[in-house]
Amino acid sequence: MEERKLKQLLSEMSLREKIGQMIQLTGIYFDEDAVLTGAVGEGQPPQWVIRYAGSVLGMIGAEKLRAIQKKYMKEHPHHIPLLFMADVIHGCRTIAPIPLGQACSFHPELVEKMAGHAAAESAAEGIKATFSPMMDVSRDPRWGRIMESFGEDPFLSGVMGTVMLRGYQKGNGNGQKGSREIPESGIAGCLKHFAGYGAVNAGREYNDVEISQRTFREQYLKPFRMAMHADPAMVMTAFNAVDRRPVSGNKELLEDILRKEMGFRGTVISDWGSVGQLEEQNVVSGQAEAADAAVHAGVDIDMMSPAYMFHLEELVEEGHVPVSLIDRSAWNVLVMKNRLGLFEDPFAGMEGEEQLSAEAKKIALALACESSVLLKNADLLPLKPEQKVFWAGPYVESTELLSRWAIFGRHDDVETISEVLRDRKLPVRFVPGCEILTEEERRLWQADNCRIQGEEEQNKEMSGSCGDQYADLEEIGPEDTVVLVLGEHEAQSGEAASRAFLDLPEGQQKFFDAVAERTSHIVAVIMSGRPLDIRKIAEKSQAVLLAWRPGTMGAEAVVRLVYGEETPSGKLSVSIPWGVGQVPVSYWDVKTGHRMTETNPENRFTSRYMDIPNEPLYPFGFGLSYTGFTITPPVLEKQEREDKIGILCKVKNVGEVPGAEVVQCYVETLCAPVVRPAKELIRFRKVFLQPGEEQKVKFTIDRKELAFYGADMELIDGGIPLRITVGNSSRAEAGDVSLQLDRRS
């Protein structure tokens, strides 16, 4: 619709109609099968709210949504279409690895393509907006939501979040360049949670955050800032406060920083109930005040809190809230619907992509292969197909390879590892050994309540006991190779799934120990939604492959990697801690005095733990391959423009098989007015090489990207000595160059 007509429409809408656009209800008010992703309060929304609510969350299904849309539009005075939103986090029906895993692929093109398919599958079933990507820099594996993030690094999170957003908003078509229109197969994306949510204190879900302004701006806002040029349709406010001021009532954040400074042009939506929660946070004295604060701060849509639906109308009528604010927010929502083409076709995209198409599965498989990280390999992998191998552990015959955030994924669409192996007719024996969780753990993790929509039936559980007696183990001798597929349950990560301990479930740990008593030739394959404490597993295994939660094609990916049909190329998007007492641990730690160095490891008075190392078990950016690579030290390349820095190096495959290496470029400031991180990732490139092949890698860095905040929060982008390194992890350096940019006036 032309902008002029849209303005005309807004001018004709009643106050209630406009407020309706600012309210989002869960689907249960429209359909009893809707997925509930948060709590619903006691108070039933007034009838007019159900009639005018501009958007709905948590529903899927072309036929159903078509019917709801038809009825709604017919009854709406201006026939404005509803917008159906949902959490499509790592795939709709075809489930890709969790975002934390996808980031380990260091392969943005794949991530973008996958998001395109997720969008097209969603649109085909009526969903036209998703609450993804989550841009929260996440360094604390106790936080269950780390699985939804792109890990610990702001730059990697920014790159991955941008391409995921672009994929959603482009769908599987191309879209018109320069146009803000989202094509039929595309859906609106939503950057969340703005901002700082990844820093929840002690990794406890819904907790507050305590970070400095400097860290907040440099680290936590960076991914959001980077994604702005992809023109996000929405941004979601975080539950937490920043500097004790809750985001959903924080005008400085939503207006001054998000809109003015970062240039955001879309719709601001609250997180579930976060407007109403201003009252629980005790910054307002009731729901009316909460609505007042949020609308003034710039929250356009109140997702599922009583505030707007019960109070906004009265606040306007009594003159507390000017109509101009209502107009502004309703306009933002109408523009989003218009970008989606809903005024022309309220069913846009519904004729589109089939579910689980061959192409979508192909991309999901590639991502599952590339997001798995080989952490250890003492010459055991890849296995030979003719080798007699035991495949053991509860995940061998399980379809539970999705996640709690795969709310529309179906376990029936997932092949098990044993099925994939049987298809290949390999000489393998299966020893499930135990269940994923013990009965007690199932209760603790409420594992039975987290079924995915439409799956009433429990997934078949493994046979075998969780005690110390395991059938079939006596067949395993000291020369035998065992692939043990172990890990967390789906219910142990995602929203509201914080953990204080990061061990494997108890029964699995015991089973592992029993196997390790019989043979040392163990390949441990780990499925999880977060970094786990796997030190003991790694010690006793000859090879460790971290598959995260790999999605629909996970079983095929694991088998291909283990038998060398694919070469592992994933690199860690987040450090794997040495132990839980170390968390949060990340590569970019700010420099300290009392520094521990290689020459003073025994010195008590250095910044260190006396009982464990400082370094994580496996650092950010680390991951092994079946082939070998060399990277040459970097050299500076002269640039025509003085605001650019060129870095050159070469990478070569010096092994026997094709593979991919991720060349990583880090920057360190050597002397600055404030204490700075040890190093920061500034560029990376994934390079695919045949044996013996060599390629040049060139990074061009804009000096603006090197800017940081000085003592008075002024931006500094010159006059500072820098050290730039390249390597294949945050720890391994192939060499460095030093330079100093001119100070600018």
Compare residues 140 and 441 and give the one whose CB is closer to ligand BGC. Answer: 140
Q: How far is the CB of 324 from ligand BGC (least distance, A)?
A: 29
List the one residue out of 150, 152, 153, 145 whose CA is nearest residue 165: 150
Q: How far is the CB of 38 from ligand BGC (least distance, A)?
A: 4
Q: How far is the CB of 350 from ligand BGC (least distance, A)?
A: 22
Distance from C-alpha of 744 to C-alpha of 448, rounded to nearest angstrom: 60
Burial class for 414, CB neighbours closer than 10 Å (0-12, 13-18, 19+): buried
Q: How many CB atoms lie within 10 A of CB 513?
A: 13
| Of positions 72, 131, 216, 699, contacts ligand BGC by CB under 6 A | 131
Compare residues 83 and 431 and give the one whose CB is closer to ligand BGC. Answer: 83
Catalogue the E-assigned strands of 625-658: 629-631, 635-637, 644-653
| Pairing verdict, β 715-716 and 708-709 | antiparallel
Q: How far is the CB of 255 from ligand BGC (least distance, A)?
A: 22
Distance from C-alpha of 62 to C-alpha of 203, rounded to nearest angstrom: 38
Count of residues interacting with ligand BGC (CB under 6 A): 9
Q: What x-and-dash track marks residues 169-188 binding ligand BGC by CB under 6 A?
A: --------------------
**Residues 717-736 interacting with ligand BGC (rule: CB under 6 A):** none
**With binding defined as CB under 6 A, does residue 207 bind ligand BGC?**
no
List the one residue out of 300, 146, 152, 135 whose CA is nearest residue 227: 135
Compare residues 234 and 363 and give the one whose CB is closer to ligand BGC. Answer: 234
Distance from C-alpha of 130 to C-alpha of 269, rounded to nearest angstrom: 12
Q: How far is the CB of 303 from ligand BGC (least distance, A)?
A: 7
Compare residues 26 and 418 and give the one whose CB is closer to ligand BGC. Answer: 26
**Residues 278-317 interacting with ligand BGC (rule: CB under 6 A):** none
H-assigned helices in 76-221: 99-104, 108-124, 154-170, 213-215
Using only C-alpha atoms, the chain has a radius of gyration, in whole angstroms, of: 26
H-assigned helices in 244-344: 251, 277-280, 287-297, 306-317, 323-339
Q: How far is the CB of 148 from ligand BGC (least distance, A)?
A: 7
Compare residues 57 and 118 and give the one whose CB is closer to ligand BGC. Answer: 57
Compare residues 495 and 668 and give the one whose CB is closer to ligand BGC. Answer: 495
Compare residues 38 and 173 and give the one whose CB is closer to ligand BGC. Answer: 38
Distance from C-alpha of 37 to C-alpha of 25, rounded to nearest angstrom: 12
Distance from C-alpha of 503 to C-alpha of 554, rounded to nearest angstrom: 22
| Of positions 64, 107, 192, 217, contacts ligand BGC by CB under 6 A | 192
Are residues 615 and 578 in contact, defined by beta-carbon separation less than 8 angstroms?
Answer: yes
Q: How far is the CB of 57 from ligand BGC (least distance, A)?
A: 6
The residue written with tokens 């390249």 in the block is 726
Cβ-based neighbours of 733, under 8 Å, separated by 6 or more: 725, 726, 727
Q: How far is the CB of 236 from ligand BGC (least distance, A)?
A: 6
Distance from C-alpha of 521 to C-alpha of 562, rounded to nearest angstrom: 14
Compare residues 24 and 398 and give the one whose CB is closer to ligand BGC. Answer: 24
Q: CA-CA-CA-CA torsion for 713, 200, 575, 665, nearest 10 degrees?
A: -30
Q: How far is CA 101 from CA 5, 8, 248, 426, in A?
A: 44, 46, 30, 28
| Of positions 87, 313, 488, 533, contacts ligand BGC by CB under 6 A | 87
**With binding defined as CB under 6 A, does residue 272 bind ligand BGC?**
yes
| Of positions 33, 243, 495, 705, contacts ligand BGC by CB under 6 A | 495
Q: How far is the CB of 272 from ligand BGC (least distance, A)?
A: 4
| Of positions 125, 153, 271, 661, contacts ligand BGC by CB under 6 A | 271
Q: How far is the CB of 270 from ligand BGC (least distance, A)?
A: 10
Q: DSSP readout, 452-495?
A: PTT--SPPPPPPS-SSS--TTGGG--TT-EEEEEEE--GGGSST
Compare residues 277 and 669 and give the one whose CB is closer to ligand BGC. Answer: 277
Single-letter amino acid code for the residue at 133: P
Compare residues 190 and 716 and give the one whose CB is closer to ligand BGC. Answer: 190
**Residues 54-83 interacting with ligand BGC (rule: CB under 6 A):** 57
Compare residues 197 and 395 and give the one whose CB is closer to ligand BGC. Answer: 197
**With binding defined as CB under 6 A, does residue 150 bind ligand BGC?**
no
**Residues 18-57 interacting with ligand BGC (rule: CB under 6 A):** 37-38, 57
Compare residues 26 and 653 and give the one whose CB is closer to ligand BGC. Answer: 26
Residue ranges that bind ligand BGC, judged by CB under 6 A = 37-38, 57, 87, 131, 192, 271-272, 495
